[in-house]
Structure 1
Amino acid sequence: MRSIPLFTPAETHPCPYLDDLEAQSQYVDPRISPDIDTLSALSRLGFRRSGKLLYRPACPSCSECKSVRLPVGNFKASRNMKRLLSKTRHWRLSVQKPSRDDEFYELYARYITERHSDGDMYPPSRQTYTEFLTEDFGNTYFLLAEDQDGLIGVLVFDVFNDGLSAVYCFYAPERESESVGTNLIIRLTQLSTLLGLHFNYLGYLVEGCRKMEYKKRFKPLEVFEQNHWVTLNPDDSLP
């Protein structure tokens, strides 16, 4: 990978994961349009994407955010996961390029309003939806789940040289009992296998943040620690 300019703004912002903490991020120079090889290498170094911003945590007094990924060749669905897949075997799954159509935005807006009204994306807006989920580097797709009642959920994901990366999931709030988010991550893991890729990048796992705990259900999980990927012992806390 060629040298990539990075910068870390001095400003901090409230941490979205842990209460009463300030967060700081390191960014890739936004004037650069990285190719797929560069994007893949940045992912392996713990960077994530928000729209066309590539970043990773750089908090001076905290290191709780850890990048995690699932080696798909070693993944074994738990009994609960198998029951979940059986329960939703009637879902129709498809993949398409990111869309700004009303159907997708309206589902996103309902999801944010009913599930995350205490978050920084509330109230929902078309600008936030467009910038966050439909502006990309050409390697982003929507994984759709539908049935006879219509659109159930959307998992936004990126394609890298070595794997797929779950970016964000939104779904019909009334389908919560079907564990849509977990379900679609399992399906994305299966898609990685079908494509002959090695990993499903799941973003950050944060010790002490309950909304991130679900990622520990995917085993074996690897965590990026001190510039190396190591297997996370399911019985241990993060390194």
Structure 2
Amino acid sequence: MTQHSRDTPQFYLTAPSPCPYLPGKEERKVFTHLVGDRAPALNDLLTHGGFRRSQSIAYRPACEACRACVSVRVVVEDFAPTRSMRRIEQRNADVSAEMRAAVPSSEQYSIFRGYLDERHRDGGMADMTVLDYAMMVEDSHVETRMVEYRLMSDAPATRRGVGPLIAVGLTDVLSDGLSMVYSFFDPEYEDRSLGTLMILDHIGRAKRMGLPYVYLGYWVRGSRKMDYKSRFLPQERLMSQGWVRAEM
């Protein structure tokens, strides 16, 4: 094998499959492997080009007649929470967040399993076992962290890091931001808007870390599943001419 072939990523195209976001449409993806010492730099480069990471794979949509999937990243320094976002933060003042090593646990999987069964029972991840979950967390050649969210109380037994786990975020640390790979929460606490809380926490966390962006993945206009991402403003959206700032 030549040096060139070892150092140059190889890209592949998937066969068409039903689109999970827009009914009646098909999707295709282009993907490559993220392995070895060059994986972190390659992941940074590809993320800037609209790719997402799943385990040791980087992928992006490559649909022939559709460009609905748009990569979005929140501009951390200029972000201003809406009134409803501030209410969500106040409602969850009793929730603590801790970033830790990407190590799977049975406690996490219990939340993950309940989340899939309640919210995505017909999705592609519905049959994931505890071993599949462990692979999702551990199969990474880039800097990956878990952010655990726990419900606290005044009781000594629920000090920081010990209260009941209610939400988890799997996050990559990039050179210019945090990339939210996957997040999930206990459906019992759905009324707390924990999905929004986790994004707000990541924005604050990125600001403290001196990172300019939080990458949210793909926003799909017309998809109710993805509409929430457009509320975190200002943000930049990856268009044909590059990253374009959006204020509304």
Q: TM-score, normalised by structure 1?
A: 0.91
Q: Per-residue deviation at 1:32?
A: 5.6
2-structure distance, mates of 1:36, 1:11 = 27
8 Å contact from structure 1 (residues 4, 29) kept in 2: no
Aligned length: 233
Deviations 1:43-82 (A, max 9, x none): 1111100111101111111111110001100100111111
2-structure distance, mates of 1:35, 1:134 = 14
Alignment match, 2:187: 173
Q: Per-residue deviation at 1:14?
A: 1.5
Q: TM-score, normalised by structure 2?
A: 0.88
| Partner SS for 1:185 | helix
Alignment match, 1:156: 170
1-structure distance, mates of 2:150, 2:35 = 38
Alignment match, 2:207: 193
Deviations 1:111-162 (A, max 9, x none): 1011111211113312331232331124111111102450010011100000
1:65 aligns with 2:79: no
Alignment match, 2:224: 210
Query: Residue type of the partner of 2:60?
Result: R
When the two chains are superposed, the root-mean-square deviation of aligned CA atoms in Å is 1.8
8 Å contact from structure 2 (residues 72, 237) kept in 1: yes
2-structure distance, mates of 1:138, 1:97 = 12
Matches within 5 A, 1:1-239: 4-9=8-13, 11-29=15-33, 34-148=38-152, 150-234=164-248
- Unmatched tracts of structure 1, length 5 or more: 235-239
Q: Per-residue deviation at 1:26?
A: 0.8
8 Å contact from structure 2 (residues 30, 59) kept in 1: yes
Q: 1:142 to 1:42 in 2, by over 3 A?
A: same
Work out which of the two has the higher radius of gyration on C-alpha atoms and give 1 or 2: 2
Q: Per-residue deviation at 1:42?
A: 1.2
Q: 1:34 to 1:20 in 2, by over 3 A?
A: farther
8 Å contact from structure 2 (residues 172, 178) kept in 1: yes
1-structure distance, mates of 2:60, 2:142 = 20
8 Å contact from structure 1 (residues 113, 123) kept in 2: no
Deviations 1:4-46 (A, max 9, x none): 4342325122111111211111112456653433221111111
Q: 1:227 to 1:48 in 2, by over 3 A?
A: farther
Q: Per-residue deviation at 1:217?
A: 0.9
Identity %: 33
1-structure distance, mates of 2:33, 2:119 = 33
2-structure distance, mates of 1:29, 1:132 = 15
- Unmatched tracts of structure 2, length 5 or more: 153-162
1-structure distance, mates of 2:26, 2:12 = 14
Farther-moved stretch of structure 1 (40-49 vs 127-136): 127-136
8 Å contact from structure 1 (residues 121, 128) kept in 2: no
Q: 1:233 to 1:76 in 2, by over 3 A?
A: closer
Q: 1:6 to 1:224 in 2, by over 3 A?
A: farther
